[in-house]
Amino acid sequence: MKNLVQIDERCIPSKIFEKARLLFNQMGVRNTTMDDLAKELGISKKTLYQEIKNKADLVRFCILYDLQKDEAVIRAISENTENAIEEWILISDHVNNELQQYHPALLREVTKFYPESWELIHHHINSFAKDNIKNNLIKGIKQGYYRKDIDIEMVSSLQLHLSMLPIEQNHTLSSKPDEIHREIIKYNLHAIATPEGIKLFEKLNKSRKINL
């Protein structure tokens, strides 16, 4: 899987990113001000601007920081799971946990007002995320958990497209993003899995009490 470009070599405390991410998820990117962030950090706005040049810079660094953390978690799962179904479950659970904190306007605001930051997300989706899906499909086919007649390129594109549905603004579903994602995960798995794969999914899902 291709790595996201590494975050700029700047000595910015991670607590700034963590607090900004929390505010963005609670209030949205547009409604979060540098004053809000400084207040939450317990520092002056002048001190904050010594670390971050402006809000656009903050958004870009936060997205890089967040995506790199996400890639590290997913890479660790992929490297430390025995089979494709277990990998599928653990990554899906990680994504679900992230979606539970997601502000519904976040992606729209970043796309509209911070195009440079959106390009980072776009790169992550179409390189790292797609490669992860492809590798999981290849692994699952070899292990007999996914059908052998799968068109890997087509299925990976379809799964990637569906995975974006919970955070898109133009769908008409009234459910929460994590609830939509859970249904998509089950839909995708039943579309490609062999009976052995379905059986293992149900067993692992129950034993780990993840409830996908």
Across the range 60-88, mean pLDDT stands at 93
Alpha carbon distance 130, 191 (integer Å)? 18
Quick one: pLDDT band at residue 192, thresholds 50, 70, 90?
very high
Please report which confidence band the pLDDT of residue 5 belongs to, taking 50, 70 and 90 as the band edges.
Answer: very low
Q: How far is CA 39 from CA 11, 50, 164, 204, in A?
A: 21, 15, 33, 44
Q: Name which of 3-17, 28-42, 111-125 the model is least confident about.
A: 3-17
* Mean pLDDT in residue range 14-31: 89
The structure tokens listed for 82 are 């025995």
Average pLDDT score over residue span 58-81:
92
Would you list the DSSP string of the chain?
A: -PPPPPPPS----HHHHHHHHHHHHHH-TTT--HHHHHHHHTS-HHHHHHH-S-HHHHHHHHHHHHHHHHHHHHHHHHHT-SSHHHHHHHHHHHHHHHHTT--TTHHHHHHHH-HHHHHHHHHIIIIIIHHHHHHHHHHHHHHTSB-TT--HHHHHHHHHHHHTGGG-SS----S-HHHHHHHHHHHHHHHHB-HHHHHHHHHHHHHHT---
**In the predicted structure, residue 87 carries a pLDDT above the cut 70:** yes
- 147 vs 166, more confident: 147
* Average pLDDT of span 175-196: 92
- The overall average pLDDT reported for the chain is 88
Dig out the tokens for 130 from the structure.
Answer: 């797609």
Rg (CA), the chain: 19
184 vs 103 pLDDT, higher one: 184
94/99 Cα distance (integer angstroms): 9
Residue 146 main-chain phi, psi, to 5 deg: -120, 155
Identify the band that residue 165 occupies on the pLDDT scale cut at 50, 70 and 90. Answer: confident
Considering the chain, what percentage of its residues have pLDDT values greater than 90? 60
Mean pLDDT of 41-64: 91
Calculate mean pLDDT across residues 184-197: 94
Query: What is the percent of the chain where pLDDT is above 70?
Result: 91
Residue-range domains of the chain with CATH: 68-208 (1.10.357.10)
